[in-house]
Amino acid sequence: MERVLREGAFTGQTHVVTGAGQGIGRSVAGALAAHGASVALVDLDEGRLKEVQAEIAGTGAPEPVVAAANVTDEDAVKAAVATTLEATGQINGVVNVAGVTRDARIAKKSYEDFKLVLAVHLHGTFLFTREVAAQHWHPLFKENGNQPLDDGVNRFILNFSSVSARNGNIGQIDYTAAKGAIEAATRTTAREFSSYRARVNAIAPGPVNTPMLAEVGEAGIRAMGAATLVGRIAEPEDISNFICALADRRTSGYVTGQVFQVNGGMYLA
C-alpha cells in the first residue's frame, strides 16, 4: 500500500479496525500498517483475517493481531479489546468500519433485518468505543487523578457514516437511521473523550467500489459515478488515505467532533 503520510507516522501505535476482512476495512488496515501501526483486525471470519494478516505482514509492516469478533456480541467485543491490549499493551485508535445492508422498502422490511443493521453499525460502534474507554483510556484518566490526559499520546475514534444519512436512500431506513445515529454519537463521544484527549470524528463516504456495492451492477455504478463532481465512485484507497490523515495528530490534531463528507461532491452540505 502506498504511503500518503511520512514514513513511520504511526510507528509504536496500535489501531483497531473493524470490518477488516474485506472492502474499506481491509484497505484501512493496510494503510495504517503501511505507516507503521500495529493493527488489530476485527471481523466475523477468523480465516479471512489470517489472510489479511499475512498480506499485511508480507509487505514488511508490523504483523497485525487477529481479533475475530461479531461486533454485535458484547462479550466478543470485550475479548477482542482485551486480546489487543494483551498483545500490544495499548490502543491508540479505533476505526469502526464493520457494516451490512439489508435493502428493502419500508413496507417489506423485516423487523429482524432492521434490528440486525442497527446492531452492526450502531451497537457495534458503541461497544468498541465503550470497551476501549472502559478497559484502557478511562483507567489511565483515573490514574492521572481524573485530569485530562495531556501526555502527547495519539488517541482517536473514527466512525463510519454514509452520504445516505443526510440524503436518504430508498430501501435503507435501517442503514440511514444507523448512520444518522452514528453521526450524533460521534459528537457526544467527542465531548466525553476530550478528557482522554482523544479526537473523535466520522466520515460519510459516497459510493465506494467494494463488495457492498455488488448488487448495484455496472450500469448503476456508472450512474453513481456520473452523479459525482469527481466523475467516478470512490475506490477503497480514496477512503483509507483520508482515514490516515484523520488518524494522524500532525494533520488532524485540532479536529474533533466532525463528520467529513468524502463523496466526490455527490452531495454538498
Active-site residue list: 175
Which member of 30, 62, 207, 264 binds ligand NAD (CB under 6 A)?
Answer: 207
Q: Which stretch binds ligand NAD (CB under 6 A): 30-38, 96-104, 185-193, 242-250?
A: 96-104
HEC string of the chain equals CCCCCCCCCCCCCEEEEECCCCHHHHHHHHHHHHCCCEEEEECCCHHHHHHHHHHHHCCCCCCCEECCCCCCCHHHHHHHHHHHHHHHCCCCEEEECCCCCCCCCHHHCCHHHHHHHHHHHHHHHHHHHHHHHHHHHHHHHHHCCCCCCCCCCCCEEEEECCCHHHHCCCCCHHHHHHHHHHHHHHHHHHHHHHHHCCEEEEEEECCECCHHHHHHHHHHHHHHHHCCCCCCCECHHHHHHHHHHHHCHHHHCCCCCCEEEECCCCCCC
Our finding on whether 72 is near ligand NAD (CB under 6 A) is yes
Smallest separation, CB 140 to ligand NAD (Å): 27
Q: Which stretch binds ligand NAD (CB under 6 A): 18-26, 83-91, 133-141, 251-259?
A: 18-26
Our finding on whether 160 is near ligand NAD (CB under 6 A) is yes
Which member of 46, 55, 63, 70 binds ligand NAD (CB under 6 A)?
Answer: 70
Our finding on whether 261 is near ligand NAD (CB under 6 A) is no
Our finding on whether 24 is near ligand NAD (CB under 6 A) is yes
Q: Indicate the residue whose CB is closest to ligand NAD.
A: 23
Distance CA 204, CA 108 (A): 27
Smallest separation, CB 12 to ligand NAD (Å): 27
Our finding on whether 79 is near ligand NAD (CB under 6 A) is no
Smallest separation, CB 152 to ligand NAD (Å): 31
Smallest separation, CB 199 to ligand NAD (Å): 19
Cβ closest to ligand NAD, residue 99 vs residue 264:
99
Which member of 212, 221, 245, 255 binds ligand NAD (CB under 6 A)?
Answer: 212
